[in-house]
Chain A
Amino acid sequence: MSERAAKVTPADEEQDDDQITDSAAPDAAKELDADTESTPTEQAEPVTNGAEAVVRALENAGVEYAFGVQGGAIMPVYDALYDSDIRHVTMAHEQGAAHAADAYGIVSGEPGICLATSGPGATNLVTGLADADMDSDPLVALTGQVPTEFVGNDAFQETDTTGVTTPITKNNTFASDSDRVGSDVSEAFALAGEGRPGPTLVDLPKDVTKGETDREPDAPKTPDTYRVQERADEELVAAAAERIENAAKPAMLLGGGVIKGEASEACREFAIEHEIPVITTMPGIGAFPEDHELSLEMAGMHGTGYANMAITHCDTLIGIGTRFDDRLTGGIETFAPDAELIHVDIDPAEISKNIHADYPLVGDAETVVEQLREAVDSSPEATKWRAQCQQWKSDYSMAYDAPEDGPVQPEFVVEALDEATDDDTIVTTGVGQHQMWACQYWTFTEPRTWVSSHGLGTMGYGLPAAIGARLAADDDQDVVCIDGDGSFLMTMQGLSVAVREELDITVAVLNNEYIGMVRQWQDAFFEGRHAASEYNWMPEFDKLAEAFGAAGFRIDEYDEVADTIADAIAYDGPSVIDVHIDPDANVYPMVPSGGDNGQFALAEDQL
């Protein structure tokens, strides 16, 4: 399932080929190869304590990177990591470790790993865990804990970590036995990635990790009580197929589950074969190429006008891997009110949670879309509808004014960054206006290239996410973080990590000296009273970057945009562009929260 695993194979084969051509005797090459393959297992010393079993479990699962911060209760695990090939990336803050692991999981498709010590280390992970939980990102957190005999006594750096994280993890475990702790970690790894992905946590009391054991961890396997349904009920599929065939105004709504379930390709083929207009949610960005004629891009609060018109007026909505979050639906009463909903999701609890599903198709997104493909015999007759969608695309085009003598408009900067980079460039963001401009004005065409905090909306996500994404990405893939001044300030200590690790990432801070999204709402709904939203006390981010050892750039005028971006992208290492944008720029369209998607505002006076 993992792209990463898939990528490894051709490279290995290439190497094999080289060896065979280089060698006069192909048999000898094969032998050599066999030797190389078996070396790791031969080298592996038997585990002697719980911590080594923990690390062995990670190695068995194929983990390459772990992000974290040292501390008393987690020290035995770090000691075991010391001898491992797993590369530990020391972060400047545990929140960053969780976000980096989260982004690593999004880009690679395999669970990202983060480590923290007990108490404050573990609580610093909380925001990142909640973020991963909301976005169903695969992640494994390993937290140190005070020795079992002190648990419950308010010992130094004790926190009830499993208690604190129960509501924000897919599953968590308090490890109680050195013989089992390796298998606990294997299981956490399997659970994080299987079915609907999510964060899992294993809390590791120091005595358990220090405790002697020679028990090797079991292979990663989910517990028997965890069952995932892969294929949807055939009768329901047939009924849904009939509904699609007879639709006059069909639309597909692709959510993050499409990307997580590796169903982008299947969805693309289905949409193109039957000429069905495609809308994405914010986490679904990248599931369908936004430069395709059928693409209406993102719907919801700051979705495009055409996506919101289409979602409001369709008669058949095929929602795949989406949980119908309120930022997407607006008010439930007015969400796709004429549409029969076909809902594909691997998590049965998402069916009819917010929007009633007329055709609930529980199963793996890719499998179910294939089932639908088999079942749909004829394409819906929707020529008029498609023409209508195209008409909306021109009526509500995403055009902005950028007079050369005026302040730099953020949309222009996003487009310039997009132009300066390849299609497979990974974009991470903070949370706020800049995030929405990135959604709207970057043309995404590939899955796993959009890395953002959707459900929780965590400011400060962008930079640590860029670090995790960079390590998961291919070497020739660019990583760009589009950040806000407020968001960047929250986790920018991560720059020290990027510098130390020589990570080639470009951060563009869209600096409006406001926490702009708040300022926008204050202007719209609080009579322009800018309570605590003016950030005109911001540091100079380019100089700050230099202080960290990164490259610093600054943009004030339009004629600096293209060249400066080119220099920053070309810089081999972390670079930060402090882009001084128009402080009054706002994000449109906008559906006020709980509003009617079809009634999006195009300007402030329409709110």
Chain B
Amino acid sequence: MKRGLDGPAPEERPTPAGRRNKQGIRIDPEVEATHLPRRTVISALVEHEPGVLSDVSGLFSRRQFNIESLTVGPTKDDDRARITVVVEEPDPGIDQIKKQLRKLVPVISARELEPDAMQRELALIKVEADDPAQVNAVADMYDAKTVDSSPETATFEITGARQKIEAAIETFGQFGIREISRTGATALARGTDETAAPVSATESAADEANQQEIPADDD
């Protein structure tokens, strides 16, 4: 008895010339371009209700989006919180993140910030205080504030762009660092540009804006 169906076998069939890359984009097979990951800040305005942070973080983990940092805090409106997520993804992934975030019911709006957005992190750095003068000199250099000191240790608070904090940690390293605690970035758009606004109008406005040069941070 016959098993299977009739018709020309696979090798007897024509095949099209085209190809798509892993992101489903039609490509020139000669070039085989795929988008590389880039770092960007996504800000979401959400209902300030229990479970919303796990909704958001759960979305990132189950869709395998790589989170660099995530911060959350209240806004001027008691019912709203702002979540700032720094991600490193190729363009199609960043697009997906924005769209998936907007689908969550407690998310009021989500947008990608422009590269010149103000971004700040906070770090607490506890260093060995064997040489207080030198330690203080480094602290001054980075505008670090002393928040605690003991005969053996000094703890500094430092805020700024990620690069500045990394640089400070690196420099403090010469004295011996005991402990570090860092927040992720929190961010706001510049000027009158709204970060993630209650209305949906701005949602996609900034989506294309990220091709611009990244201006030097003012720190």
Using a CB–CB cutoff of 8 Å, the interface residues on chain A facing chain B are 162-163, 166-167, 170-171, 174, 191, 223, 225-227, 305, 309, 312-313, 324, 332-335, 337-340, 347-349, 351-356, 395-401, 403, 406, 584, 586, 588-589, 596, 598-604, 606
Contact = CB atoms under 8 A, between A and B. Distances in A.
Contact of A191 (B17, B51, B105, B107): B105
Contact of A174 (B8, B24, B51): B51
B99 A333 contact: no
A347 B103 CA distance: 8
Contact of A403 (B1, B26, B105): B1
Contacts of B15: 312, 596, 598-599
A602 B51 contact: no
A338 B54 contact: no
B108 A603 contact: no
A596 B1 CA distance: 28
A399 B55 contact: no
Interface string B45-58: 00100110011001
30 contacts: A167-B58, A171-B104, A225-B108, A226-B105, A313-B16, A332-B22, A333-B21, A337-B17, A338-B18, A340-B26, A348-B102, A349-B99, A349-B102, A352-B92, A352-B95, A356-B92, A396-B5, A396-B6, A397-B6, A403-B1, A588-B5, A589-B5, A596-B15, A598-B10, A598-B16, A599-B13, A600-B10, A603-B5, A604-B3, A604-B4
A602 B18 CA distance: 24
B215 interface: no
A403 B2 CA distance: 10
Nearest to B107: A225
A399 B106 contact: no
Contact size class for B? 35 or more
B75 to A, nearest CB: 15
Given A334-B19, A356-B23, A606-B9, A313 B14 contact: yes
A356 B20 contact: yes
A575 to B, nearest CB: 30
Contacts, number: 126
Contacts of A603: 3-5
Contact of A602 (B6, B22, B96): B6
A186 to B, nearest CB: 14
Given A333-B19, A596-B15, A603-B5, 13 more contacts: A225-B47, A225-B106, A226-B105, A309-B13, A334-B19, A335-B20, A356-B26, A396-B6, A397-B5, A399-B5, A400-B5, A598-B15, A602-B6
Contacts of B106: 225
Contacts of A403: 1
Contacts of B8: 395
A334 B24 CA distance: 9
B16 A332 contact: no
B9 A338 contact: no
A332 B14 contact: no
Contacts of A397: 5-7
A227 B15 CA distance: 42
Contacts of A354: 24
Interface in B22-37: 22-26
B208 to A, nearest CB: 14
B89 to A, nearest CB: 13
Interface of B: 1-10, 13-26, 47, 50-51, 54-55, 58, 62, 92, 95-96, 99-100, 102-108, 200
A321 B145 CA distance: 56
A333 B24 CA distance: 7
Nearest to B99: A349
| Chain A contact residues: helix, strand, loop or mixed | loop
B151 to A, nearest CB: 43
Contacts of A398: 5
Contacts of B20: 332-335, 337, 355-356
Contacts of B2: 400-401
Contacts of B104: 171
B144 to A, nearest CB: 40
B205 to A, nearest CB: 15
Contacts of B103: 347, 349
A599 B10 contact: yes
A6 to B, nearest CB: 28
Contacts of A171: 104-105
Contact of B17 (A167, A332, A338): A338
Contacts of A309: 13
B105 A223 contact: yes
Nearest to A226: B105
Given A348-B102, A606-B9, A588 B24 contact: no
Contacts of A334: 19-20
Contacts of A340: 26
Contacts of A337: 16-20, 26
Closest 3 CB pairs of A and B: A603-B4, A337-B18, A349-B99
Contacts of B102: 348-349
A606 B10 contact: yes
Nearest to A358: B26
A82 to B, nearest CB: 32
B62 to A, nearest CB: 5
Contacts of A599: 10, 13, 15
Nearest to B47: A225
Contact of B51 (A162, A356, A399): A162
Nearest to A162: B51
